[in-house]
Structure 1
Amino acid sequence: MVVLASCGLVASFMQTLVVPLIPAFPRLLNASATDASWVVTVTLLAAAVVTPVSGRLGDLYGKRRILLVSLGLLIAGSVLSALTSQLGLMIAGRGLQGCAMGVIPLGISIMRDELPPERIGAAIALMSATLGVGGAIGLPVAAVVAENADWHVLFWGAAALAALCGLLILKLVPESPVRTPAPFDYLGTVGLSAGLLCLLLPIVKGTEWGWTSPLTLGLGGASVLIFLGWGLYQLRTRDPLVDLRVSARRPVLFTNLASVLVGFAMYASALSFPQLLQAPSSTGYGLGQSMVQTGLLLAPNGLVMMVLSPVSARLARRFGARLTLMAGAVVIAAGYLFATVLMDNVVEIVAATVIIGAGVGIAYSAMPALIMGAVPISETASANGVNSLMRAFGTSASSAVMATMLAHMTITVGALTVPSLAGFRATFLVGAAAAVAGLVLTAIIPRKDRTPSNPVPALASSPV
């Protein structure tokens, strides 16, 4: 449990590894701000493409083996990034780092296959929570390193952590005996990758390209056509990459839709609260904190996610994963409403982020239980990979929507243009609305799947 959760933390840490360096990348990489933004974008795109694919590969060829391959790609990407200051090589390295996000669904599936029934619920909750925790606690760590050392040290550190995780897996984590003897769906993988790239690129870059530009609209239309063709192929092929019939079952479908909205709500806080904390105090609402101070003030958000993951597991055992996910969505919405009303000082902002973090920790830990209570054990890695993809899609959409809102609702303070008070409140209300929408979708999930297939032993008594 400890080793796999540590792997999840290291993988999700890659999401925020370079966030403190974003303003400096044009100078550090001798590139325009637009080109330098790909250092962040490519990691998100690679993670979205690789996560469901790695899950399927784990079902076919061994989850531990593919997990080690994912960590190997993370090491290679980190070393490449640490050795270069050229934009092209940096983008390649960051893309390889994004490939590591598959370790989270793989780790969840290994836990289900290997652990005693009484420990599965808590273990899965802990592993799932790392998807949010790693990014939250990684931000202050990266900020401290970036301000006090050469920026390449961040990548050397990432390589060392990934290598340590790989050694611990080799020594302490057994291979799962559960396999799916079938050929790998290469055509389905190409179709899914192309569809995701065409869908996510306009979402991430729409603000920069223009939401009505031919490129944005063209890629959006292409994604619709690709996914329609891909879906028909998946329904007709004997061994699909994603079993759409299983994914269409109500518990799986509505859990994945709720995951999109919870991921949206989670990432909204990562974009809005740092800017509010760093806004000049001369605005009348900004808190004038430095980059490092901001990172440290946001650290409790990630810590509370980790602390509440076992609590979420106990709630799921007692009340069911469905009600636990609903409770998490309610807490997230409450945190945003708190921030909308009380945002006058650092204490109030930290309190709001902690409330939101608590909700995310509870919600993220409940999602895999709902998924695995409704899919065959032979498809757990693939199903969890799709669920992680849905969360990643939510964060991508949140990044685009929140960035657009804050960019269009601004005031000028001296030579600075910063988001306005109305802009921050609008983002908080949108975050709350996303959480409420996730609550509604979760409420639609049946209390118990009418045709269960291999439910999670530790959660068998729960009304999944």
Structure 2
Amino acid sequence: MAVTTEAPVRIGKPAIGALGILALALGTLQAVVEPSLPLLQDDLRIGPAEGSLIFITLLITGAVVAPIAGKLGDRYGGKRVLVVLMTVVSAGGLLSSAAPNLPVLLAGQILQGAMVGALPLSFILVRKHLPPGQTQVAVGLVSGLFTGGSLVGMLIAGPIAENLSRHWMFAIPTTAIIATTLIVARMMPGDAPESDATIDWLGVILLSCTLVALVLGFMAVAGGGLPPLAIAAVTAGVAALATAWAAVERRAASPMVDLRMLAMPAMWSASAATLFLSLGFGMTVYLVPQMLSVSGDGYGFGASSSDIGLYLVPATIAGVVAGTIAGIASRRFGPRAVITAGALATAGTLIALASLHDSTWQLVAARALTGFAVSVSAIALLASTATAVAAKDTGIATSLLVVTRVVGVALGAQLGGVLLEAGTDPATDLPTESAFTTGFITAGVIAALSLLVVRVMKKGTRA
């Protein structure tokens, strides 16, 4: 495939708006399962353990698809791959809407997981069709609307499922995705491939296997009950897959991930900062609802699932606002300053929460502030990385950051669960207050580690 050198066509606000609305619809479809899980379990006659497979399936698919989608976008053009990917997601949404049982629903969720690849593909398009300064604002808008879709999904899932059926809560967002994809395909100009090299499929397979093994292995270890020999075997298996992937990438004529790119300060520092912030945030995502729901002796609030959903609305709104602010602030002050401020706010809030959790408003405010700060930092990291690497590597570089964030949040939530499990009082079968305190302090310290990474970033970096 020939690679053109023609100047890309500039796009206006309608095209960016269409990308943003597509992100909103995707976020909505992604979020409808969480608030309606009890209804799904009852309707499909499955237990909590089987119900959790829905989340695991979506997570694993997203972690695998994101880097592949980014690489394919660099290779064949972002618009072309985005349309194909949205076709897969739409098929998954329709399959989920018609699912008569759990296996069919899981198959639909596997296809829906491809939506995670939409973000790096969108970044490819805005990088190619917008001036550098406007790129950061557009990245923030698309990321913020994807988060906003989560709020829409949480609010509409229950009413739709209860008043119509569970089938419609998948069908309605999917219809919006199909319609918006057609609009994007019409309004967004085609983008030329940045590379004509062949795809390193062995590298793709090994990276996918490494990510799957990492997530499943950590969940198995965190779940407890594994003997030391089994834990060592899981660790060795993940390490062997990662080593094999690195060896293949070093020898490949056209590697999926150029390891020299990973060695760039802008790339490895962004990845490390994203991981630390995501781990701390993932612990918060798990610990705050747990403390709201627990009714302990002098702590906890015994909140219902509906109450917790309302308590988390401010955090979701904060994530939406963060998308716009992050892009503008990165353009005005530089990504490094934005990331530093976000990391400081996250770490300080979590450490303060260890002692200040006597009222619901403190938990609600802390969850909203950390959600805002982490989102601002993550978007600034994505925007700076998108313009720091070569144009041909935009898709894969941003994909790796998206995957790092997804995996980091998942592992952080698991770590929070381990700490609460270790601090459970046998007499009451409830986590002790000290277990929550330890969790919040641990999350704050982990988030603070990102500040050490930020120090090595180029001062005054601007995209």
Aligned position for 1:252:
267
Partner of 1:124: 139
Partner residue of 2:371? 357
1:264 aligns with 2:279: yes
- Give the drift of 1:388: 0.8
Q: 1:327, 1:283 → 2: CA distance? A: 36
Aligned to 2:55: 40
Cα–Cα, structure 1 residues 14 and 147, in superposed 2: closer, same or farther, change >3 Å? Answer: same
State the SS of the aligned residue for 1:37: helix
1:455 maps to none
Cα 1:274–1:366 shift into 2, 3 Å: same
Q: Determine if the alignment matches structure 1 residue 315 to structure 2 residue 325.
A: no
Query: Any residues of structure 2 matched to 1:190-339 within 5 Å, and which?
Result: 190-208=205-223, 210-212=225-227, 216-280=231-295, 283-339=297-353
Deviations 1:166-218 (A, max 9, x none): 12212322222343111111111111111111111112333336354665543
- For residues 161 and 137 of structure 1, do their structure 2 counterparts lie closer, same or farther at Cα, with a shift above 3 Å needed? same
**Matched residue, 1:445:** 457
Q: What is the CA distance between 1:93 and its match in structure 2?
A: 1.3
2:9 is matched with none
Give the match's secondary structure for 2:99. coil
> Are 2:387 and 1:373 aligned?
yes
Match of residue 150 from structure 1: 165
Partner of 1:457: none
1:146 to 1:410, Cα distance in 2 relative to 1, 3 A: farther
What is the one-letter code of the residue matched to 1:241? M
Say what the alpha-carbon RMSD is for the aligned residues: 2.5
| Partner residue, 1:345 | 359
Range with bigger deviation, 261-270 or 2-11: 2-11
Which amino acid in 1 is paired with 2:174? A
Distance 1:158-1:266 versus aligned 2 partners, 3 A rule: farther
Q: 8 Å contact 1:7–1:103 — kept in the other structure?
A: no
Deviates more, 1:153-162 or 1:17-26: 17-26
Segment drifting more, 74-83 vs 57-66: 74-83
Superimposed CA distance per residue, residues 319-360 of structure 1 (whole angstroms, 9 cap, x where no aligned partner): 321221111111111221332222222222221122112212
Matches of 2:206 and 2:250 in 1, distance apart? 13
Contact 2:64 2:208 in 1 (8 A): yes
Is contact 1:62-1:175 (8 Å) kept? yes
Q: Which of 178, 181, 184 does residue 166 from structure 1 map onto?
A: 181
| TM-score, structure 2 as length reference | 0.89
Q: Which range moved further: 45-54 or 242-251? A: 242-251
Indicate conservation of the 8 Å contact 2:76/2:193, yes or no: no
1:421, 1:295 → 2: CA distance? Answer: 22
Match of 1:108 among 101, 110, 123: 123
Asked if 1:430 corresponds to 2:439, the answer is: no
Q: Which secondary structure state, in structure 1, belongs to the residue aligned with residue 245 of structure 2? A: helix
Measure the CA separation in 1 of the matches of 2:146 and 2:231: 29
**Amino acid across the alignment from 2:128:** D
Distance 1:276 1:143 in 2: 23
**1 CA distance for matches of 2:431 and 2:91?**
38
Aligned partner letter, 1:260: L
Whole-angstrom distance in 1 between the partners of 2:298 and 2:156:
29
Q: Does residue 424 of structure 2 align to residue 410 of structure 1?
A: yes
What SS does the aligned partner of 1:373 have? helix
Q: Give yes or no for the alignment of 1:398 onto 2:412.
A: yes
2 CA distance for matches of 1:207 and 1:19? 22
More moved, 240-249 vs 46-55: 240-249
CA change 1:158–1:396 in 2 (3 A) is same
- SS of the aligned residue for 1:341 comes to coil
**Change over 3 Å in CA distance of 1:213–1:45 after alignment to 2:** farther
Partner of residue 383, structure 1: 397
Cα distance between partner residues in 2 of 1:440 and 1:12: 32
> Is residue 311–residue 362 contact of structure 1 (8 Å, CA) maintained in 2?
yes
CA distance in 1, matches of 2:366, 2:152: 16
Tell me which amino acid in the other structure corresponds to 2:238.
S
Query: Which blocks of at least 5 consecutive residues in structure 1 are unaligned?
Result: 449-461
Q: CA deviation at 1:266?
A: 2.4
Distance in 2 separating the partners of 1:205 and 1:28: 28
Specify every segment of 5 or more residues in structure 2 that has no aligned partner in the other structure, as ranges: 1-15
Residue 135 of structure 1: CA displacement? 4.1
5 Å-filtered alignment, 1:67-106, equals 67-106=82-121
Q: What letter matches 1:425 in structure 2?
A: T
Aligned length: 448
Read off the aligned partner of 2:357 and give its amino acid letter: M
